[in-house]
Structure 1
Amino acid sequence: MMFGIRKRIQDHLVERRIRRTRLVTKYGQCNIEFGNVKCGNQFAFLVDFWTTFVEFRWRFVLFFFTVSFTLSWFIFGLLWFWIARSNGDLTWQNPSKGHKYCVENVSDLITAFLFSMETQTSIGYGIRVITPHCSGAVTLIITQFLIGSIINCFMCGIILAKISIPKKRAKTITFSQTAVICPKKDFLCLMIRVANLRKTLMIGSQIYGKLLRTTNKPNGETIIMDQVNIEFMVDAGKDNLFFVCPLTLYHVIDKASPFFEMAVDTLHKQEFELVVFLDGTAETTSSACQVRTSFIPQEIMWGYSFLPIISRSKEGKYRVNFSNFSKVVPVATAHCSYCLHNMKGHHLHSINGIDNWEFEANDNLEQPNMTKL
């Protein structure tokens, strides 16, 4: 029992370490921080205040608007109190019987605050009413109405922008937990699987990848985040994907591929991160969005292929079985891309020598779970 607990703790620590070291998480968040940013550059966030507010968390947005409304009501309440005091409308000023009020029934600071709130929110109870005897009061009520309308419009715009933010649409695009390397069309290919969980399409979908690694130049320069383009495609091409059902995307490992010199026994010893991007436009909202995920060497399985997930029902409809979305099976695969073309018969052997088994990657991706078919 103690061994099992210790093993789970070690797995959790390994998972946390992997999550810290990768640039892009499996769910698309970028793991990066900025230090020593100059104050002048930070001022740019205030200049672009609209984007700043949209990117704020909901708790901060709600807090800001609560403070904005309350503060505006209080400030204008003070101004209404000042007008009433200047005109001698307050109770302690003992106005005469024929006194002409600027605002009726505003007799102290509390009633001035209530009149300010009723004016800005257009409540209009009818107890406290402005009169035409004070030009300053007329000017103030026009000013408060305009400022209140601006605050309302700004609040509604921020809320609508946050609700319709394209990141929410990206939540319904999912990638397989692992990538696989297996033969396809006389080449070794790196494959991933992507699915759209909504029936509405992503228009003009394009997918591409970036391989991030540390590169040492001959002149001694070290590039911490060297980026190499990785092209993905489906059988119909690589642009404008018909994304109506899950797709298996593949990258051909040829001589131009950074995976060409890797082999089954050296892949997991490499240090790189494969970041995959999917760009498209939501059919419903016409808003562009980007979905991201990443794969590290421990999440790439050499010598496996994805199980099929699309079938036809008896009624003739296409059916997608998502239970097989991330499941893989071993296939006969060469130990390296060079071996496939230069060593005769090398591609005819299975990497593990095991057939008729079904694999599904677990959470920590260190060892697949196996079930006999």
Structure 2
Amino acid sequence: MLQKSNETQQDVLQQTLKMPWSLSQLLSCCSRQQGINRVRLITRDGHCNIEYGKMKYSTCFAYMHDIWSTCVQIRWYSLTFFYVASFIFSWFIFTLLWYWVGYSNGDLWWQNPSANHTACVLNLYDLTTAYLFSVETQLTIGFGYRVITPLCPSAITVFMAQILVGIVIACFWCGVLIAKISLPKKVAKAVSFSEKAVICFKQDTLSLQIRVANIRKSLLLGSQIYGKLIRTRVTPEGKTFIMEQVNIDFMVDAGKDNLFFVCPLTLYHVIDKTSPFFQMAVDTLQQQDFELVVFLDGTAESTSSSCQVRTSYLPQEIIWGYKFLPIVSRSKEGKYHIDFSNFDKVEPVPTAHCANCYHDLNGRHHFSNNGTDNAGFEVIEIDSQDNQLSSVNT
């Protein structure tokens, strides 16, 4: 019986492939039958899922071209490795230079210097002592056992060069460490978005809503919220546009610019005729091929550093006919209490089946109960000639 079922599925697939379907119809059929397993462009934690290939220059060259940004963005274990390696490498380079200074003056032990010989660096007679003197010079330890003499200009030149190089290396890594600790993405981790987006009514209009919160007590100044709908579109001529971007405007009751981000906010996008969600419905939303990317830009009040928080929602993460539970209340002590246990919780509400039917020009507002059709829905038609009303059960 299982073999028969497999043969039936193969026959259906073969019949489907033999049909003269267009590319858009084939994509629509595949999305309905098997669902869309879309790969995110932006992960939920804000990272970009991008891989570069066949570049003109190698990836290593691109990273080394901007060494500062590379050092700031690499992981901590890589940073520690390069930090230690840079000092050891510089010590070893100057070890060879000090060894050359001693060799050129005949100070090394195997050169058998005379008893009244004056060395360029006292007590520097082999590679080990040259390495120790290099470390002492660059770190300004100054034990005093190995001392430079004023008789060799080459020794004075190497001494000054190593001091300058050591200062540059120390200042560079100090700056990298401070910049890495104060990265804006550390501030962005305190901002969280809701796991789901919902579609429900907001001020007598259908809207897509998300919730965002800043768990730090310090504010994000000049906050701005906006979105991009990234989708794959096939034109009637058969051209496929991958990663087409459409602007999505988000706002709160007071507007969309300079949000007062003192408590969790519910951001909403009005689904009107200009919205890409206008032609979608409760039964077609899950079949769409798009990714909604939401951006939040702001400036940290404590560090004055700009940051951007990103997240994305797939069609399976947008639920129709639900609204977020309230989380802000006033306590007995006169303070505003925020209940984060309800941050991601939603509840069903009566919502229109689709935005198109809600904005019908004839005024036929079709409401649904929790995203499903109402069994007792009636359409009322008005005859302008004889003013007779007729009720038609659907």
Match of 2:86 among 57, 60, 68: 68
Match of 1:347 among 357, 367, 379: 367
User: Residue 102 of structure 1 aligns to a residue in which SS?
Assistant: coil
Match of 1:208 among 226, 233, 243: 226
Partner of 1:242: 260
Sort the Cα spacing of 1:82 and 1:19 in 2 relative to 1 into closer, same or farther, 3 A. Answer: farther
For 2:37 and 2:212, the matched residues in 1 are separated by 21
Q: In the alignment, does 2:209 pair up with 1:191?
A: yes
Measured after TM superposition, the shift of residue 322 of structure 1 is 0.3
Any idea what the Cα deviations from partners look like across 1:135-166, whole Å, max 9, x if unmatched? 11111100011111111111111111111111
Verify the 8 A CA contact 2:321 2:369 in the aligned structure 1: no
Instruction: Give the TM-score taking structure 1 as reference length.
Output: 0.86
For 1:345 and 1:274, the matched residues in 2 are separated by 27
Measured after TM superposition, the shift of residue 292 of structure 1 is 0.4
Any idea what the Cα deviations from partners look like across 1:30-72, whole Å, max 9, x if unmatched? 1111111112786444332222222222222222222221111
Q: Within 5 Å, give how 1:236-315 maps onto structure 2.
A: 236-315=254-333
Identity %: 63
Measured after TM superposition, the shift of residue 94 of structure 1 is 3.0
Verify the 8 A CA contact 1:208 1:276 in the aligned structure 2: yes
Sort the Cα spacing of 1:18 and 1:220 in 2 relative to 1 into closer, same or farther, 3 A. Answer: closer
Match of 2:40 among 2, 11, 22: 22
Match of 1:166 among 184, 195, 201: 184
Sort the Cα spacing of 1:240 and 1:80 in 2 relative to 1 into closer, same or farther, 3 A. Answer: same
AA in 2 matched with 1:329: E
Partner of 2:118: 100
Verify the 8 A CA contact 2:322 2:370 in the aligned structure 1: no
Q: In the alignment, does 2:106 pair up with 1:78?
A: no
For 2:114 and 2:236, the matched residues in 1 are separated by 95
User: Residue 132 of structure 1 aligns to a residue in which SS?
Assistant: coil
For 1:331 and 1:325, the matched residues in 2 are separated by 17
Rg larger in structure: 2
For 2:177 and 2:365, the matched residues in 1 are separated by 62
Verify the 8 A CA contact 1:19 1:25 in the aligned structure 2: no
Q: Within 5 Å, give how 1:33-48 maps onto structure 2.
A: 33-39=51-57, 43-48=61-66
Partner of 2:175: 157
Measured after TM superposition, the shift of residue 298 of structure 1 is 0.6
Partner of 1:321: 339
Any idea what the Cα deviations from partners look like across 1:331-366, whole Å, max 9, x if unmatched? 111101122243646337443599xxxxxxxxxxxx
Match of 2:241 among 223, 229, 233: 223
User: Residue 212 of structure 1 aligns to a residue in which SS?
Assistant: strand
User: Residue 307 of structure 2 aligns to a residue in which SS?
Assistant: strand
Verify the 8 A CA contact 2:98 2:130 in the aligned structure 1: yes
Any idea what the Cα deviations from partners look like across 1:219-277, whole Å, max 9, x if unmatched? 33210111110000000000000001000000000011010111111111111100000
Structure 2: tracts of 5 or more residues without a match: 1-34, 375-394
Verify the 8 A CA contact 1:330 1:350 in the aligned structure 2: yes
For 1:56 and 1:188, the matched residues in 2 are separated by 44
User: Residue 145 of structure 2 aligns to a residue in which SS?
Assistant: coil
Q: Alpha carbon RMSD of aligned pairs, Å?
A: 2.0
AA in 2 matched with 1:250: Y
For 1:253 and 1:63, the matched residues in 2 are separated by 52
For 1:21 and 1:349, the matched residues in 2 are separated by 32
Instruction: Give the TM-score taking structure 2 as reference length.
Output: 0.82
Q: In the alignment, does 2:250 pair up with 1:232?
A: yes
User: Residue 113 of structure 1 aligns to a residue in which SS?
Assistant: helix
Any idea what the Cα deviations from partners look like across 1:14-40, whole Å, max 9, x if unmatched? xxx999711111111111111111127
Moved more, 256-265 or 93-102: 93-102
User: Residue 281 of structure 1 aligns to a residue in which SS?
Assistant: strand
Match of 1:59 among 52, 77, 95: 77
Sort the Cα spacing of 1:350 and 1:69 in 2 relative to 1 into closer, same or farther, 3 A. Answer: closer
For 2:221 and 2:141, the matched residues in 1 are separated by 46
Q: Any runs of at least 4 consecutive aligned residues in structure 1 with deviations exceeding 4 A, and if so which?
A: 17-20
State how many pairs are aligned. 338
Measured after TM superposition, the shift of residue 98 of structure 1 is 2.3
For 1:160 and 1:18, the matched residues in 2 are separated by 44
Sort the Cα spacing of 1:87 and 1:19 in 2 relative to 1 into closer, same or farther, 3 A. Answer: farther
